[in-house]
Amino acid sequence: MARSQTATSGRANFCFGDDDLRSLYVTASSSLLRLRVKVPGLSLGPLP
């Protein structure tokens, strides 16, 4: 991870996204953070 940012408010959810599943999105009370990671997340398949 080249850069990280710390949210000062409580975390609520997180998920992997983007075409390569190497972006980790984290929601906080008043923030949305995007972190690029080296290892892709797990795809659960398309949503119904």
Sheet holding 23-28, edge to edge: 11-17, 23-28, 32-36
Residue 48 placed within a domain = no
CA atoms 29, 34, 38, 42: torsion sign: positive
- Report the predicted TM-score, pTM, of the whole model to 2 decimal places: 0.66
Domains of the chain: total:
1
Place 5 in a pLDDT band, splitting at 50, 70 and 90: low
Residue 16 placed within a domain = yes
Question: How confident is the model at residue 47, as a pLDDT?
Answer: 63
Is the confidence at residue 1, as pLDDT, over 50?
no
Query: What domain range is 21 assigned to?
Result: 6-40
pLDDT tens, position by position, 9-48: 566 789 999 999 999 999 888 889 999 999 999 888 776 6
Question: How confident is the model at residue 9, as a pLDDT?
Answer: 57
Residue 45 placed within a domain = no
